[in-house]
Structure 1
Amino acid sequence: MTARTNSLLLGLAALIIAAPLILDPAGQFGGTDDAASQVVESSNPGYEKWTAPFWQPSKEMEGLLFALQAAFGAGLLGYVLGRRHGRSGK
């Protein structure tokens, strides 16, 4: 790779990392569950949930479980891609 390509990739990576900080400086990142709940509450104010979670983990445990899920998915993806690359004989 050339120095220009490396600089371009580094700049793109920095932009991807900085974008959430620029777009949401308060750090109020919400998930799709929160957004869906807000839409349901605004469209139907009298709605009552008919299910409840059987276990509510702490924020730290929730972060740990999410990180483990991401690590497992990345490992599985890496394994599959590695096997496919190995089969191609390259």
Structure 2
Amino acid sequence: MKKTVLLLSLVIALVVFPFFINHGGDYAGADGIAEAAIQQLAPDYKPWFSSFFEPASSEIESLLFTLQGSIGSAVIFYILGYYRGKRAAHANHR
């Protein structure tokens, strides 16, 4: 019971804590920061290629990013579950 309460408390802390560490700044991604640094260091720099798809809004961009992460997580956890089940089945046949 203590372990469950401790783990639940840690999960709640991980969810709530990021709301207090922003200090009023925006949640700019690393791409924007890198682009600003490049413009400052080499203002005449031209990218090698451009994106072939620009989402209509930042909400759609966030949706696609989240979808990509979800699909990747699903693949990884499916593989882990598959091998764990395979190992458990092999252990039961001994």
The amino acid of 2:72's aligned partner reads G
| 2:80 counterpart SS class | helix
The aligned counterpart of 1:41 is 39
Q: Give deviations 1:13-56, integer Å, cap 9, x for gaps.
A: 12211222111153611222112112222333444445332321
Deviation above 2 Å: which 4+ runs of structure 1?
41-55
Q: Name stretches of at least 5 consecutive residues in structure 1 with no aligned partner.
A: none
Identity of aligned residues (%): 31
1:24 to 7, 22, 25: 22
Superposed CA RMSD in Å reads: 2.1
The count of residues paired between Structure 1 and Structure 2 equals: 88
The aligned counterpart of 2:9 is 11
Who wins on radius of gyration, i.e. which is larger?
A: 2
Matched, 1:68 2:67: yes
Change (3 A) 1:28 1:4: same
When normalised by structure 1's length, the TM-score is 0.77
Take 1:48 and 1:78, find their aligned partners in 2: how far apart are those partners?
A: 40
Are the counterparts in 2 of residues 41 and 47 from structure 1 also a CA contact under 8 Å?
yes
| 1:24 counterpart SS class | coil
